[in-house]
Amino acid sequence: MALGKVESINTDNISGTIKEDETSIVYPFNDTNFPNTGLKVGDPCTYDIDYSDKNPVASNLKPYTPTEREITTTIDTPVTVNVGETVKIKNGGKVNGEIKINSGCLIIQGTGESNGGIVVDKEGALVVRNGGVVKGQIVINNASTLKVKNGGVVRGEIVINKADSFIVGDVGGSGGNSGGIISGNITIKRIRKVVITADSKINCGS
């Protein structure tokens, strides 16, 4: 499942568009059960989508209530980002255990740090920004997006098995410190879009 908002609803009431969180990409949806969901334009929703399709179409839309959690201390045990949840590691927060993202969003920023590895499943999203650091391996099995921007740093290996987008740098940003920094090896198997801004730094394997 991925996370987004209902962007438009067609007159047949079973199709329309959704706008994906984090990427703001708009996808069509087709869901015969949509009239029973109670969803309206602007409502947050989860949905199923296969980014490997030539023209992805969302289905199985369901309403959800967004929740947010902040980690500002050191955690040595595994952390799970649940469906519809946004977890922010910030202000000296550090996670030494593995982090698993299930249809949620993980943001590592400021002096936040991840050391134990990150696994992204079920159309989850990962954003490393504003000085946040990932030292462990990132494995993307099925994700909406991986963003490294505004001085975010990834030192570990990145393995992308299937994702919609991989963005390094702040697309549309003002330059300066808007680039991302990656020093680990990068392996990509299936992805729809890769964007790397001119002020980003990638030096694989250094």
The span from the CA of 181 to the CA of 193, in Å, is 18
CA distance 82 to 18: 21
Strands, DSSP E only, in 40-89?
44-48, 59-63, 67-71, 74-75, 79-81, 85-89
- As a CATH number, domain 2-63 is 2.40.50.140
- At 66 the pLDDT is 84
pTM (2 decimals)?
A: 0.83
> Boundaries of CATH 2.40.50.140 in the chain?
2-63
pLDDT (tens digit, 9 = 90+) per residue, 144-184?
889 999 999 999 999 999 888 999 998 765 545 689 999 99
